[in-house]
């Protein structure tokens, strides 16, 4: 069991994950932010590695990626920063980003390095499920890394079952098929989608992302899933002055 499995074995509900971009707002802040988030009460974290063409991301996270790249953030530099991760942070950590930088780094090398540094899982939105299964799953399994698949309202039941079969941590439920940064809009169709997923009684826990911005949307998401992910709202906080001092109140406001 990696840390993700241990977390889901001990805490079943109201899990809060926070996403932020490595290298934003400045280099050498990745572990500092992670440590502050753990102390404030986040249950697990998603650290994004920036990419020049983040097709699934809205303006806030796109801007953070652009700024991180301008700051000089690369996968090599991120791995250097993460060298002290497990001296200071105990909660599960996932890396989130696009396939191209991973392939350039070398996917076998990437998985081995991530595991060496104490990373527990990876989210790669543009990694096709069949490619993962046929070409790359062994690298993840051999390094005890969980690969997290995404499900949208348009994902078919058969594909969801297949994703559940290939997963070993949790399934990431997108609240819509749009880009990040919107608000959680609980239309009848979206609510029906959540109910349909819940009724499938999947083997893996589910976590809802996209549009979680406050306590109300967090609680609503947790009615249908095991927890929720806050991304753009937190990245906006990182643009403010004295953002480190504001992290405890931010987490408290989401969870309270």
Residue pair 140/146 in contact by the 8 Å Cβ criterion: yes
Q: Tell me how far apart the alpha carbons of residues 147 and 145 are, in angstroms, rounded to a whole number.
A: 6
Sequence spans of domains, the chain = 16-255
Residue 62 has a pLDDT of 87
Predicted model pTM: 0.93
Q: Tell me how far apart the alpha carbons of residues 247 and 243 are, in angstroms, rounded to a whole number.
A: 7
The DSSP code sequence of 37-104 is HHHHT-SEEEEEPP-S--TT--HHHHHHHHHHHHHT--HHHHHHHGGGHHHH--S-EEEE--HHHHHH
- Beta-carbon count within 10 A of 130 CB: 9
Q: Exactly one of 35, 57, 81, 120 is catalytic; which is it?
A: 57
Q: Tell me how far apart the alpha carbons of residues 20 and 96 are, in angstroms, rounded to a whole number.
A: 9
Per-residue DSSP letter, 145:
P
* Active-site residue flag, 191: no
Residue 201 has a pLDDT of 96
* Active-site residue flag, 57: yes
Beta strands in 85-235 (DSSP E): 93-96, 121-123, 146-148, 150-151, 171-174, 206-209, 227-230
Q: Exactly one of 35, 38, 43, 46 is catalytic; which is it?
A: 46
Q: What is the pLDDT along the chain (256 residues), one digit of tens a residue?
A: 799 999 999 999 999 999 999 999 999 999 999 999 999 999 999 999 988 775 656 788 889 999 999 999 999 999 999 999 999 999 999 999 999 999 999 999 999 999 999 999 999 999 999 999 999 999 999 999 999 999 999 999 999 999 999 999 999 999 764 444 444 455 677 888 999 999 999 999 999 998 899 999 999 999 999 999 999 999 999 999 999 999 999 999 999 8
Residue 53 has a pLDDT of 72
Taking each helix axis as running N to C, give the angle between helix 215-224 and helix 243-255, from 0 to 180 degrees, rounded to the nearest 10: 50
Where does 16-255 sit in CATH, by number?
A: 3.20.20.70
């Amino acid at each position: 069991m990696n840390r993700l499995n241990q977390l889901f074995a001990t805490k079943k509900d109201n899990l809060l994950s926070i996403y932020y971009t490595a290298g934003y707002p400045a280099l050498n802040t990745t572990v500092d932010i992670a440590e502050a988030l753990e102390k404030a009460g986040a249950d697990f974290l998603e650290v994004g590695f920036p990419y020049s063409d983040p097709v699934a991301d809205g303006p806030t996270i796109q801007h953070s990626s652009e700024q991180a790249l301008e700051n000089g953030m690369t996968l090599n530099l991120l791995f250097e920063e993460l060298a002290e991760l497990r001296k200071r942070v105990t909660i599960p950590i996932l890396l989130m980003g696009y396939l191209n930088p991973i392939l350039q780094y070398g996917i076998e090398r990437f998985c081995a390095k991530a595991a060496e540094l104490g990373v527990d899982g990876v989210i790669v939105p543009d990694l096709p499920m069949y490619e993962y299964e046929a070409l790359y799953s062994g690298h993840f399994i051999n390094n005890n890394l969980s690969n997290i698949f995404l499900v949208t309202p348009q994902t078919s039941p058969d594909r969801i079952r297949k994703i559940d079969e290939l997963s070993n941590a949790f399934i990431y439920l997108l609240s819509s098929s749009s880009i990040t940064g919107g608000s959680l809009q609980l239309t009848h169709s979206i609510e029906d989608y959540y109910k349909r997923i819940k009724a499938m009684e999947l083997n893996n826990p589910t976590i809802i992302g996209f549009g979680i911005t406050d306590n109300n949307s967090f609680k609503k998401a947790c009615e249908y899933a095991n927890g929720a992910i806050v991304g753009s709202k937190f990245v906006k906080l990182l643009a403010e002055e004295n953002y480190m001092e504001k992290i405890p109140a931010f987490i408290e406001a989401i969870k309270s």
